[in-house]
Amino acid sequence: MENCFETLVGIVNVETCNCEPNLPTGNDTVRKWYYEVFVASASPGGSATFEADYKFPTDEDKIQVYENGVEIAQSRFSVSGKEITITSPLANAYYQVWYYAYVSAADTIPAFDTSKSGLFLSDILPISELQSVPNKWQTVLQARTQAIKESVASLSVAIKRNAVEQHVKYQGFVGGEQNDGYLDTTFGYAGVRIRTNPIQSGYLRINRIATYFEKSGTVNAWLFDGAGTVVSRRIELRTGGGGRKMITDVNIEVPLLNDFNTCQDYYLLYEYDPTNRPKKNKTYCAPCNKSGINPITYVNRYGLQGMWPDDYRGALAWNNYIIAGGIEWDDVSDFTDTPENVSTYMNGLALEIEVGCDLTKGFCRMLNSGGPEVMALATAIQRRWATILVDQKVITSVPSRSNVAKGDAQKSMAGVWEGEFAEAMNYLAGAVDENSNDCVVCRPKISMGKLMT
């Protein structure tokens, strides 16, 4: 779930809070892979030490360091607490570090008084009314998550009354077993270049990668963007040997367009080893291609502005979202002068992908832009959140005259809140269009004998 919804409605306003213990403060931590960047000085000397945001793990297998895009050996760095020291650093080198650590969960579990809309749960349901609910704060947070999921799901259904999804999701494969022998190259790296359709709320998910290499074992690969940034930690791909297919689950998701960009490239590369060559497997199965349409190889075919046409169907429908093909390259810190054409080979790789437009990300963009839609969605989440908690309270409350009286009153209010939730959904159904969410387009209005616009 996008963090924009988690911070939209708060629990209680700090100005009116008779604050109780164990309120969520936003200082909780979660274990995850974290990414940071450091730059060496022009004269770094024998070593360079940098301080990270979080404590490094003691297991150095859970730390990956890249020097100008190239992963360096563990023998070249050491860690102590939040400090990492790199030996024999290069002048002005660009260091990227992926490490597994306890990091702040503030974006996932915001502080109790965080509210971008200015609305709080306590505005309509006093927190003191939840005393009888077991694990109160955990229940409150779980109820907010449920309210957000239900609100987003209801909105996704509601907007289809007046709009349709602009982009049909593609799920399938890029590349296959058909090949023209093994790849021989003098370049240091080989793999696949991917140019993406510039849809702001679009995503590309690589679920699995199949390999076709001469030897069995493991091949390390890295996913770079066009600026030479390593956008995921090292990808360890299994190989079957003899050109046989071997599949690895990877589950990597990247945006189709990063902020401030007009176009987006990704490079899935591995170090080329002449003693373990990849197959020159093709981007598509030629005998399966009944249409006679070939995949695009010129990455600038659609220019740098605007979304692409969606002319491709069937097994080649991925070309509506990405242009993909083989590339060989030397300098992974700089992809500026890469050729404008990719090959019709995948250089020993095949991708199982899902690519499309994420309505939820589109809603987040709508919230970031402001406007009455923000308050409408905040109101919907607040009302649904309170209703869920009242239901929880009714189920778990200890019977008493006070609880019965308050419970009946709150159940009555919950009915009102449900009506206000539905009213907010109706408003949003008519307000969301291609101007507020780039995943949808207005449904044409048709009447007898003419097209209404």
Can you give the CATH number for the domain in which 175 is found? 2.60.120
Q: Looking at the structure, do residues 153 and 92 belong to the same domain, yes or no?
A: no
Q: Looking at the structure, do residues 394 and 260 belong to the same domain, yes or no?
A: no
Q: Please check whether residue 364 lies inside any domain of the structure.
A: no
Q: Please check whether residue 143 lies inside any domain of the structure.
A: yes
- pLDDT value at residue 448: 45
Q: Say which CATH number the domain at 94 has.
A: 2.60.40.10
Over range 290-305, report the average pLDDT.
Answer: 82
| Structural domain total, the chain | 3
What separation in angstroms does the CA of 452 have from each of 367, 448, 449? 30, 10, 10
Q: Looking at the structure, do residues 183 and 307 belong to the same domain, yes or no?
A: yes
Q: Please check whether residue 441 lies inside any domain of the structure.
A: no
Lowest mean pLDDT among 5-14, 238-247, 404-413: 404-413
**Higher-confidence residue: 453 or 263?**
263
Spatial contact of 197 and 261, defined as CB atoms under 8 Å apart: no
Q: Please check whether residue 452 lies inside any domain of the structure.
A: no
Over range 34-56, report the average pLDDT.
Answer: 94
Q: Please check whether residue 444 lies inside any domain of the structure.
A: no
Q: Looking at the structure, do residues 311 and 182 belong to the same domain, yes or no?
A: yes
Expressed as residue numbers, the domain containing 114 is: 3-24+107-161+370-435
Decide if pLDDT at 312 tops 80: yes
pLDDT per residue as tens digits for the range 206-222: 999 999 999 999 999 99
Q: Looking at the structure, do residues 67 and 112 belong to the same domain, yes or no?
A: no
pLDDT per residue as tens digits for the range 321-353: 999 999 999 999 999 999 999 999 999 999 999
Q: Looking at the structure, do residues 279 and 338 belong to the same domain, yes or no?
A: yes
Q: Please check whether residue 446 lies inside any domain of the structure.
A: no
Q: Looking at the structure, do residues 46 and 69 belong to the same domain, yes or no?
A: yes
Q: Looking at the structure, do residues 295 and 314 belong to the same domain, yes or no?
A: yes
How remote is the C-alpha of 329 from its chain's centroid? 27
Domain end point (choices 104, 128, 146): 104
- pLDDT value at residue 288: 56
Q: Looking at the structure, do residues 97 and 120 belong to the same domain, yes or no?
A: no
Type of residue numbered 441: V
Q: Looking at the structure, do residues 342 and 428 belong to the same domain, yes or no?
A: no
Q: Looking at the structure, do residues 348 and 393 belong to the same domain, yes or no?
A: no
Q: Please check whether residue 445 lies inside any domain of the structure.
A: no
Q: Looking at the structure, do residues 196 and 332 belong to the same domain, yes or no?
A: yes
Residues 6+ apart with CB under 8 A from 51: 82, 83
Query: Is the alpha carbon torsion for 158, 159, 163, 169 positive or negative?
Result: negative
Q: What is the pTM of this model?
A: 0.88
Q: Please check whether residue 273 lies inside any domain of the structure.
A: yes
Round the average pLDDT of the chain to a whole number and report it.
88
